[in-house]
Chains A and B, each alone.
Chain A
Amino acid sequence: MKVLVTVKEVARVADDFEIEGTEVGEQYREYDLNEWDDYAIEAAVQLAEAGEDVEVVTATIGPERSEETIRMALAKGADRAIRVWDDALEDVETLDVGAKAEILAGVVEAEEPDLVLSGVQAEDDAFGGTGVALAERVGYGWAAVVNDLDLEPGGDVASVRRELEGGVEELTDVELPAVLTIQTGINEPRYASLRGIRQAQSKELDVQTLADLGIDAAAADSRIDVTEMFVPETESDAELFEGDAGESAAKLAGVLRDKGVSAE
């Protein structure tokens, strides 16, 4: 059985930052593994640990810098990695969902995985669409926002729970091959061990261009442009208590008592 995990390197923005044009200034961005994808990697590695002959492959669209993040996924137990990059992608600010799905479909067609795991969304652009769009593109089944996965390695149906709003879960069976988008909380992602980090250095990290995957360079043409970026207007009319912690706590305690809050 082969499990493909889509892994994205995302930018995190510092508490204090400046916007330059339609981007957050590079010096205010830190790059890391997308939180949702961390849970997807863990779900894949757990499948590999539960069965024999399960291969976990990661796929990333990203520049050379993202190899640090990819090595992290390898250190956590993925067997090998594919990184897709191309000159045509170099200057693209926002790769839309359709473009990502088209590029990842090239990887799926080359690898023919039984299962694709993808984070529900990326922390940075938060489109939340790539996994489901990919499934449709390659003709796989899918389930979005999965917070529990029951799949026998070698089985042909994934029994999942989908986390709906308001504390309700939907129980769904999905035929394989399928794409599942993984919600945080489905498992406890492991830390990469030192041994894992050492081993990751020798694992295969294959770099592919769009042409290598048989994808036209036009795939990089996003149909969405970010035309403006700004800090959302704060609407705060909160009364802020000033002073040191003791002073502000005392003022807050006064308000709370007025509201009827008290020890029994």
Chain B
Amino acid sequence: MSDVLAVAEHRRGDLRDVSLELLTAGRELADQTGGDLHAAVIGGAVDEFAEKLDREGVDRVLAVDEGEEFNHDVSLQSVEQLAAAVDPAVVLTPNSVNGLDYAPALAESLDLPYVSDAVELSIDGDELTAEREMYGSKVATTCSVDASDGVVATIRSGEWPTAEGTGDAEIESFDVEIDDSRVFSSVRGFEEVGGGDVDISEADVLVSVGRGIEEEENIDLIRDLADALDATLSASRPIVDNGWLPKNRQVGQSGKVVTPDVYIAIGISGAVQHVAGMKGSDTIVAINTDPNAPIFDIADYGIVDDLFDVVPALIEEFEG
């Protein structure tokens, strides 16, 4: 039991990038255990995906031709059977929305410990060590996990480089038997959200507002700034959750990915889910009272001060 099983993810015809990051994480672990790295893909254009997963360091690719899109009941049963065949020390999946939708059930079904959202992983004998974050990324922890019977671990996207090159893996199709009495869900389709009056991903300059704005009526202040800078108004998740701005203004993992020339983050702490949506901006400016806010880690310019003092002064600068 020294092999690693990495279960890739795809959606609507595309292999997701995190699948290739998963291969890097998997290879690192397999090097530590001295085992092989098995990559698996379930459903969709499995042959095409299997070719793409044949990267340097991958020993074997297992293609499970079951269904077109992700269904957690099918994924769960497929990975149960893959795990029985491979007998891995570690099963890896992305800590994505779909990872969250079956990896915990897999750990439960295989009676293995579950460690999620790892940003670093290593394994030594019966002990897997994972680094992960708590309290909204304010602290990091190192966890020791009993891996004597195996572990199910999910990795945070963007923490490992994507596996490159072309490998010489054995590509095999892997047949599974799906027990329909354990299929409780069916996917009816997909819908894009957003649309509406503006596409924030097209904007050159974004003025983005977060939880620090405190009250709905204060959004007007940020709107005034956006007007003064001839910029587009966007927001982090809590603002949209509160219904203060529509969903098409949301920047982040579950909103839009934006890459403007200038991104001005106001009262945004910089949770990892937000950063995922805006880190590609050319120039990032942060205005926040908390000097330890993670947004400053990726900002090019910053002001540590009360936004209610700084923003009116900035409006004055441009309109003055």
Please give the residue numbers on chain A whose beta carbons come within 8 Å of chain B beta carbons, in ascending order.
Answer: 11-13, 15, 17, 19, 22, 24, 94, 96-98, 101, 120, 123-133, 135-137, 140-145, 159, 161-175, 178, 181, 184-185, 188, 223-232, 234-236, 238-241, 244-246, 248-250, 252-253, 255-256, 259-264
Contact = CB atoms under 8 A, between A and B. Distances in A.
Contacts of B261: 259-260
B113 interface: yes
A262 B186 CA distance: 50
Overall SS of chain B's interface: mixed
A227 to B, nearest CB: 5
A241 B229 contact: no
B241 A184 contact: yes
Overall SS of chain A's interface: mixed
B303 A252 contact: yes
A224 to B, nearest CB: 5
Contacts of A120: 100
B165 interface: no
Interface string B172-215: 00000000000011111111111000000000010000000000
Given A229-B141, A236-B297, A175 B305 contact: no
Interface in B114-156: 114-117, 129, 132-146
4 closest residue pairs by CB, A with B:
A141-B184, A129-B104, A249-B313, A245-B309
B26 interface: no
25 contacts: A96-B113, A124-B135, A126-B132, A126-B134, A128-B117, A132-B100, A133-B105, A141-B73, A141-B185, A143-B185, A144-B72, A163-B97, A166-B254, A168-B191, A171-B189, A174-B185, A184-B237, A228-B141, A238-B286, A238-B300, A240-B302, A241-B302, A244-B309, A245-B309, A262-B229
A256 B145 contact: no
A147 B199 CA distance: 22
B303 A240 contact: yes
Interface residues of B, number: 95
B102 to A, nearest CB: 7
Contacts of B313: 245-246, 248-250
Contacts of A168: 11-12, 190-193
B140 A232 contact: yes
B83 to A, nearest CB: 14
Contacts of B316: 249
Contacts of A174: 184-185
Most B CB contacts (10 A, CB to CB) among A172, A255, A262 go to: A172
B190 A185 contact: no
Nearest to B204: A260
Most B CB contacts (10 A, CB to CB) among A12, A98, A136, A249 go to: A249
